[in-house]
Every structure is written in structure tokens, then in C-alpha cells.
């Protein structure tokens, strides 16, 4: 057969980002289950303690890997993350070498921010902690003050060094990272709920309440305000209501597609939501610390409901957790570590899960009632799906 007549083989289809995230998240979860048979397969992960002497700050999370030392644990953590996430880049059709180089810089910046956030002058909370580390004052942020440091560093890089930020872009995959984290966190929630049924029921009720609030209360109110108060057309009002009341970018895009809005409509709405989310991350945690320090689950749920992008919501949840726990610890109250961030993520997951259902409902309404077919023929549910 001549070269001109040889059939061209179609490229193998790439897995979706969702599928890659689920796969990687499940692998991590399954590896962690080896601990049930006595094999600590993830104990090498690096952890950072509050410090004044930097040489003692790092250590493996498990004493079984103490021989690695702090720097060794950090190096192994980086290598494993780089390998796993480079695999995800390969599966998604990205340039693996470019991704690995950019990820190295992102990892260094991120962990340096976390390390600085664990400095005793930022992280020591109680007078006993201050005495232990020999510091006369502290911002009392706990070591999760690293979230705030990372936020500030990110803002500086994005606005002062745009060329460097562009070189990091291939490794800046917040949606992928958040999706992987949500899979792992979902497994964590399931396991933890099995042992803490009372708090688990509170989380579930908060998640169901979030669905009712976002979809059945906030959405129609915001749609009505956009239509009657600002005079927006349906094409603009629906994506705006979804973006503001549900979960930002994904909801705005899903709604825009469902109602067949022009492509620029959900894009512009998404941009507004992202900009506003940055402002929320800076302001809402401080408000929560001031007025909700004795209602930590309410404060955490508020972050999941109010901050509309997944990454910003979890960042706000982490910052709120550090601020509220620091204030509570100073008053002699010790909240369960990690539960506030778990509540934020749970509320966010509950809201996100129903985006597809909501888009389908809107598509049905728009197709059959707002923009019906010529002649009045109604579209079938299968066609809308």
C-alpha cells in the first residue's frame, strides 16, 4: 500500500480531567488502606512543626520513617508528587517536561510559604507556646498561617512578576488539584463519619441545607434582582444567578450552556466571580474570626456557601480555620483539628454535586418554555440531556 493511501489512525482519546482526578485520588486512598494491615505506606510525607530553629521544623509524619530526616522527607514528598502529577499531565496531553519544571517552582514556593507560616512569631498561639519557643509576641495564626503567606506571595507574583507567573502556568492547575483533594477528602469524610456519627449527622444536615439555600432560595432571589433591579436579559441573569449563588465558574458555564447563551456571557460572569472570590478570601475569614469564633462549624459552612470558586472556598476555609482556632486556643478552647476545613469542603461538595442536575432543569425550562421550538413541539428529555 502506498504512503498516500495508508489509513490515518485516529489518536487515542484522552481521559477527562475528572477521570484523572478520581483515579489518582482513589490510588492515594487505596494506598493509605495498607495501614489496616500494619504497612505505613504514606508515613514518609513531610510535616512541619511550629519552629524558631529551622533545622528542627521538618520531619516525616510517621516515626517509622524517622531515618529519612526532615529534608529527606521533604525531598521524597516532592519526588512522589512530581511523579504522580506529571503522570496526570501526560494523561491530559500536556508537555510533561514543561509541567515538571513549573511544578518544581510551584512546590518550592508553596512549601516555603507553609514553612514561613509555621514560624513561631506567626504560629504560636497560647502563652505556653510562646514561652516554649521563647518568643515575646505572636500573630497567633497557628501553622496554617502558611495559607495567608501563600496567598500574599501568589498575589505578588501574579501582579509584579507576570512573566514568571506565565512560566508557572502549566503547573497552576487548581481545578485538577482541588478535584484530587476532594476525592481524598471525600474518603476521609466517609471514614471519619463512621467513627463520629454525631458530628457526621451535623455535616450532612449542613450539606443538605446548603443545597436548599443555594438552589431554591439564593438562585431565584438573585435572578429576580438581576432581571427586575438591574434590567438584565434572561441570557445574562441566569448565568449570573448561578455563578453568584451556586459555585462560581462551573455553575456559570454550565448554566450558559444549558440556556444556549452566547459564549462570552458565562466567560464574563466567571471573571467577575473569580475577582470577587479573591476579595471574599481576604475579608470573610476576618469577619468569621470576629463574630463566629464560638460557632466554628457555622463559620466553616459559611465559607463553603459564600465563596463561590472551589479553590477560593477551600482557601477561605483553611484561613478561617487557622484564625478561629487561634482565637479559641488563646481563650483555652481547643477545637478538633481539620474539622472546619472538612465542613467547608463538605458544603462545597454538596453544592457542586447538583450543578449537572440544575443545568438539566434549566435546559428543560429554557428549551420548552422560554425559547420553545417553532410550532410548539417540545424537546424530549433525552435530547436535552
pLDDT of res. 151: 80
List all residues 6 or more positions away from 84 whose beta carbon is below 8 Å from its beta carbon: 24, 27
Higher pLDDT, 346 or 4: 346
- The conformational region for residue 60 under phi > 0 = left, psi -120 to 50 = alpha, else beta, is beta
pLDDT digits (tens, 9 = 90+) for 305-324: 888 777 678 878 888 998 99
User: Is the per-residue pLDDT at 1 higher than 70?
Assistant: no
Q: Which band of pLDDT confidence, cut at 50, 70 and 90, is reported for residue 124?
A: confident
Rounded to a whole number of angstroms, the CA Rg of the chain reads 23
- 3-state helix/strand/coil string of the chain: CCHHHCCCCCCCCCCCHHHHHHHHHHHHHHHHHHHHHCCCCCCCCEEECCECCHHHCEEECCHHHHHHHHHHHHHHHHHHHHHHHHHHHHHCCCCHHHHHHHHHHHHHHHHHHHHHHCEHHHHCCCHHHHHHHCCCCCCCCCCCHHHHHHHHHHHHHHHHCHHHHHHHHHHCCHHHHHHHHHHHHHHHHHHHHHHCHHHHHHHHHHHHHHHHHHHHHHHHHHHHHHHHHCCCCHHHHHHHHHHHHHHCHHHHHHHHHHCCCCCHHHHHHHHHHHHHHHHHHHHHHHHHHHHCCCCHHHHHHHHHHHCCCHHHHHHHHHHHHHHHHHHHHHCCCCCCCCHHHHHHHHHHHHHHHCHHHHHHHHHHHHHHHHCCCCCCCCCCHHHHC
pLDDT of res. 200: 54
Q: Which band of pLDDT confidence, cut at 50, 70 and 90, is reported for residue 41?
A: confident
Backbone angles phi, psi at 249, to 5 degrees: -60, -55
CB atoms within 10 A of CB 28: 17
Q: Which band of pLDDT confidence, cut at 50, 70 and 90, is reported for residue 207?
A: low
Q: Which band of pLDDT confidence, cut at 50, 70 and 90, is reported for residue 377?
A: low
Please state whether beta strands 46-48 and 58-60 pair in parallel, antiparallel, or not at all (unpaired): antiparallel
Share of the chain above pLDDT 70, in %: 86
Q: Which band of pLDDT confidence, cut at 50, 70 and 90, is reported for residue 282?
A: confident
Q: CA 82, 172, 123, 302: dihedral to nearest 10 degrees?
A: -130
List all residues 6 or more positions away from 180 whose beta carbon is below 8 Å from its beta carbon: 21, 24, 25, 28
Backbone angles phi, psi at 158, to 5 degrees: -65, -35
Question: 258, 359 in Cβ contact below 8 A?
Answer: yes
Q: CA 295, 296, 299, 301: dihedral to nearest 10 degrees?
A: -110
Backbone angles phi, psi at 46, to 5 degrees: -75, 145
Higher pLDDT, 379 or 248: 248
Share of the chain above pLDDT 90, in %: 30
Amino acid at each position: 500500500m502506498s504512503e498516500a493511501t495508508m489509513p490515518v489512525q485516529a489518536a487515542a482519546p484522552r481521559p477527562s480531567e475528572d477521570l484523572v482526578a478520581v483515579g489518582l485520588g482513589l490510588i492515594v486512598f487505596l494506598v493509605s488502606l495498607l495501614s489496616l494491615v500494619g504497612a505505613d505506606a504514606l508515613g514518609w510525607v513531610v510535616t512541619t512543626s511550629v519552629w524558631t530553629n529551622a533545622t528542627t521544623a521538618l520531619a516525616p509524619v510517621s516515626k517509622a520513617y524517622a531515618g529519612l530526616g526532615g529534608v529527606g522527607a521533604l525531598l521524597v514528598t516532592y519526588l512522589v508528587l512530581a511523579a504522580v502529577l506529571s503522570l496526570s499531565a501526560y494523561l491530559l496531553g500536556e508537555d510533561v517536561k514543561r509541567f515538571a519544571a513549573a511544578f518544581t517552582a510551584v512546590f518550592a514556593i508553596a512549601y516555603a510559604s507553609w514553612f514561613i507560616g509555621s514560624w513561631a512569631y506567626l504560629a504560636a498561639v497560647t502563652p505556653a507556646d510562646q514561652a516554649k519557643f521563647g518568643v515575646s509576641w505572636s500573630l497567633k495564626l497557628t501553622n496554617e498561617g502558611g495559607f495567608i503567606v501563600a496567598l500574599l506571595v501568589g498575589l505578588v507574583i501574579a501582579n509584579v512578576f507576570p512573566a514568571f507567573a506565565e512560566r508557572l502556568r502549566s503547573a497552576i492547575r487548581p481545578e485538577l488539584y482541588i478535584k484530587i483533594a476532594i476525592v481524598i477528602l471525600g474518603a476521609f469524610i466517609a471514614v471519619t463519619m463512621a467513627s463520629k456519627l454525631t458530628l457526621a449527622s451535623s455535616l450532612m444536615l449542613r450539606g443538605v441545607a446548603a443545597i436548599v439555600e443555594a438552589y431554591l432560595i439564593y438562585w431565584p432571589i438573585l435572578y429576580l434582582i438581576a432581571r427586575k433591579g438591574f434590567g438584565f436579559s434572561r441570557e445574562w441573569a441566569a448565568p449570573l444567578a448561578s455563578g453568584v449563588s451556586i459555585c462560581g465558574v462551573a455553575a456559570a458555564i454550565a448554566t450558559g450552556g444549558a440556556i444556549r447563551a452566547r459564549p462570552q456571557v458565562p466567560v464574563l460572569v466567571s471573571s467577575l466571580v473569580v475577582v470577587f472570590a479573591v476579595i471574599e478570601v481576604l475579608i470573610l475569614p476576618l469577619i468569621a474570626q470576629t463574630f463566629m469564633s464560638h460557632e466554628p462549624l457555622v463559620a466553616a459552612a459559611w465559607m463553603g456557601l459564600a465563596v463561590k470558586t472551589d479553590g477560593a472556598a477551600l482557601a477561605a476555609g483553611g484561613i478561617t480555620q487557622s484564625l478561629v482556632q487561634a482565637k479559641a486556643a488563646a481563650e483555652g478552647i481547643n477545637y478538633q483539628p481539620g474539622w472546619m476545613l472538612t465542613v467547608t469542603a463538605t458544603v462545597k461538595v454538596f453544592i457542586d454535586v447538583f450543578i449537572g442536575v440544575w443545568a438539566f432543569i434549566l435546559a428543560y425550562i429554557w428549551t420548552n418554555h422560554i425559547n420553545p421550538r417553532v410550532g410548539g413541539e417540545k424537546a424530549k428529555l433525552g435530547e436535552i440531556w
